[in-house]
Chain A
Amino acid sequence: MSDNKSDLKIGVFICKCGGNISETIDLEALKASLNVEVIEEFENLCSLNGRKIIRDGILNKNLDRVVIAACSPISHEKTFQDYVQPLNAYYMDMANIREQCSWVHDDNEKATAKAINIVNASIEKVKEAHAVDPIIIHASDKVAVIGGGISGMNAALSLAKQGNKVTLIEQSPSIGGHMAKIGKVFSPVKIAEECGMCLLNPILNEVVWNDNIEIITNAKVISSEKRSGTFNLVIEKSPRYVNPERCISCGKCAEACSKEVPNSWNDNLSMRKAIYKPFSQAYPEAYVVDMENCDKCGDCLRACPMRAIKLKGEKEKFPISVGSVIIATGHKLFDPNLRPEYGYDRYEDVITQSELGRIMGVNGPTKGKLEKLSNGEVPKRVVMIQCVGSRDEKPEGHLYCSRVCCMVALKNANIIKHKYPNTDVVICYTDIRTPGMFEKYYKHGQANGIRFIRGRPGEIVKKGDNLVVRTENTLKRQFEEIEADMVVLSTAMEPSEGTKEIAKIMDVGTTEDSFIKEAHPKIKPIATDVKGTFVCGTAHDPKDITESIMQATAAASKVSEFVHNGIDIEPFIAEIIEEKCTVCGDCINFCKYKAMTMEDNQMVIDPMTCSGCGNCMTVCKQQAITINGNIDDKITATIDGMLEGKKDDERRILVFLDQIGYTAADNIGVNRLKYPESIHIIKVHSINRVRPSHMQHALENSADGIFIGEYPGDLMYDEVENKIERLRNRLERRGINRERIMFAKVYIPYFTGLANKLIAFDKEIAELEDKE
């Protein structure tokens, strides 16, 4: 094979596509225009017979490069990359004379002329092609799951059962999360409340028993560094002061301990000792010392028959390396003191749903008996207030709906009605949101005698011994004062501190409400913007247990895809030329995709994250970054090919589109809409790769106009827009009208819009030429 471009042996294979192409384009004229080693045409090139024709051509004639003039590369690029073997896949280019020629033009002569340009462009492009191999990255099968609540436990379990090694990292002394303390959970299908712990315990046990899961409690991730698909996490583990290997959970230490502190697991409604076990099913099955409250008297030490306690200990830091990370760091509840009008800190009998859950839990402070905290009596009327902190437009409130609170209130109201039929329960709501089967649960609650008032109470005050809830009944349009002896606030779900922290540590994008943001809200609801990092449960947004488990299992599936198939990456990504790189780090901030890191005094580009946009190349003062595949020259060659043989009275407009815009352009053809023959579309890997010099080159070499289409969701959109504005100014100084460059938004489904924009731009250019 020859390296000299003019000596390259090129074969052009033309597909008739069952008439789709050949009925509009005069293939004889197309063939006559070409000056290449091999020209073949076939009815259906993508068939196995087509493969034989292509392969024979390559082998018999020693072809160096191949152009397939057929349909869009979006339909069949992978097919033909395979058919040209043993040639390198990137020595082949597809000239799209179907979607972007025969399907969008009616005039045979003009369509044929344009087809010649398209094929020419491909010929010039392949001449510049370099052989590159696809990059496949295999992620390690080690996974870190951060957060040991119901989501993290399910994700870990699913991964472990698929054979992956999982490290489950939990900040508190026990796994279990919020579900462990919830008491009863709601079940819309059975229209019943079930014991939360009874459902949780088997899962917890399975997690503990699974050999593929290592549980690290009292620990958090304090730093993360990503390198070629590997995350190096540093974990900080706080001392437990009790050796779990020795502790037999006899509880003698707690009996001996004289220091009493509020029990946070019971929402501080009861007391525990400074040495304690969070709850009876806690794992690890060992006591733990709350060192903040321990006075180190040593009573526990002396009481321990197993000598498991040691009151000295340091925080321990250690690294782990994993291939992927699942964030399951969960939520916390809105601070009711931020709504002072409800008097949470003034009145003992104003409590939260979470506290009510503890009060009614059989393992709670009252052993399941509903009691007023002020006097231990069973309340005669309980008023529940919905949307405390949710759907609240004032500062410190949340605009969003927390999604589960209607069901939580119904659940607790039903339980009260069931156990204490004489207690009146009133729910003051903004809107009742009980989608799907939960609507039946709502009706069930109404039938049980729960009363509902539509209105958001303004305040709670105490009159004599009673609380008074003031609200507008918005259905009756009247002001009401409801006497109550217990008021329960349904507080909003908000991201936990751990969720906010881990987002910063892992550099994962968050929503305006500080939840972890998914890569795409519709089609990528589990991935994050950091490849290899996934999210599940309430770290992502407010959701119930069922949905958390579903998302956790889906996250495990996504990790499995990663681990078992490797990740096939387009090879046109940036590489550092180490000899030139001075490790200045300038490129780090310029990379919108967060692909650059500095490690061990060396710049590293994560191939999985790099999009090949080339932004880093333009900021690198040392010119120490290159992108595989000779893309700059290929773009120039394609431009030259498209403009070859242009006549004076002819108009040629070059349109640059990336994957998204190109797909939209194909859709114009698929739907048989039309645009002028002057429109010549060039597919690029990333719009940012079309440099100002390319555009200038095109305009100075007879192109009449340039149309750049970019998807506004692309991270580089603003950058490209600014770049084009600067280029326009520059061109103007060189006597080229700025209107010759068009920058437009493109969307895949809005192909009619793109067609209209192309038609309008052609018209503008025509008018411009008339004027000049």
Chain B
Amino acid sequence: MPRAFTPKVVTANHLLEGDVIYQTTTGWTRDLAEAEVLDDEAHADLRLLEATQQRDVVVGAYLADVEPTDTGPKPTHFREAFRMRGPSNYSHGKQAEL
């Protein structure tokens, strides 16, 4: 049996800034908490396709696993946690900017 679909968000890097962005129902955000959580596999594939087509806005869109919480989606893997926060050696990136 195929594995059950787990909740996801569409994430990418911004073409001009290069930083991490997440897809919302209406556009893009730099705050994971505001991202659109995708519970349905077919819908997720469609949203990823739509993101990929915005080639003058985003680079390298993909689906990342999240855990929905009361305060919005949270990353489930440490790589996504680092992307959401920034590097650990300096207070640069999202941890400093958001």
**Are A and B physically bound partners?**
no
- List A residues at the B interface (Cβ < 8 Å): none
